[in-house]
Amino acid sequence: MGLYPEAIFRWVGDRGLLLEFGDRISQEINEKVRRMALAIQKESIEGIIETIPTYRSLLVTYHPFILPIEELKKRLRKIEKQLQEFPLPEPKLTRIPVLYGGAYGPDLEFVASYHQISPEEVIRLHCSKPYFIYMIGFMPGFPYMGELPEALVTPRLKTPRLSVPKGSVAIAQRQTGIYSMESPGGWQIIGRTPMELFDPNRTPPSLLRMGDLVEFYPISEEEYLNWDKKDGKGGGL
């Protein structure tokens, strides 16, 4: 079906309402999610606590004693009909340096073998286009991006790793992402970036934003280790 004619409301516990805008991953559906989140924020409705946008849905948490569920639905449906009045910001392009392969990208050789291409071709393909950020999630600052070139679509690991280093650049199915901090994970790790994706002392703390674009480019190990050296933030292994 793709984009629904109007959002489907689903209860999530006693103080959450999930708005589903479609049944697949697409930029059209994601745009409506982002417009709705922006519109709710600008309307400043008393009783709404938070909005959490995802690929194709938006979770709205609220105080049921301040804002009854039926009133919330009524207000949200009205906003949905006026979404074109809430323009989205122009997408920002961020270029991300990546040291591919070796200890920094332990799955690069597997990805190359899986597709019967060279590791150099994997790198070239991964750097060949800008990627759309569908959402930030899983951990603070982790961008879910797509879509990969068809020649790089690769399954997840059969057994997830217990620990993936911070900055790891990975692919899974049609997505690519960056681990913003050390974490368990099941994606194919093809490289690592020295850039800091999440810093709670920075405003905003997340380097990347839903709806923006990312472009990768390869760097050498020397460049990685000396990245931002003047601030003491070299990559390290």
Write out pLDDT tens, residues 70-103.
Answer: 999 999 999 999 998 899 999 999 999 999 999 9
**Phi and psi torsions of 138, nearest 5°:** 70, -50
Pairing of strands 3-11, 16-22: antiparallel
Q: Where in the chain is the domain with CATH 3.30.1360.40?
A: 3-85
Residue spans in the chain of domains classed CATH 2.40.100.10: 93-231
Statement: residue 233 has pLDDT above 60 = no
- CATH number for the domain formed by residue range(s) 93-231: 2.40.100.10
According to DSSP, the residues that pair with 213 across neighbouring strands are 93, 132
- Write the DSSP assignment of 106-131 as a string of letters: TTHHHHHHHHTS-HHHHHHHHTSS-E
Strand ranges inside 32-139, DSSP E = 48-53, 57-62, 93-100, 131-136
What's the CATH class of domain 3-85?
alpha beta
Radius of gyration of the chain (CA): 20
Supply the pTM of this predicted model: 0.91
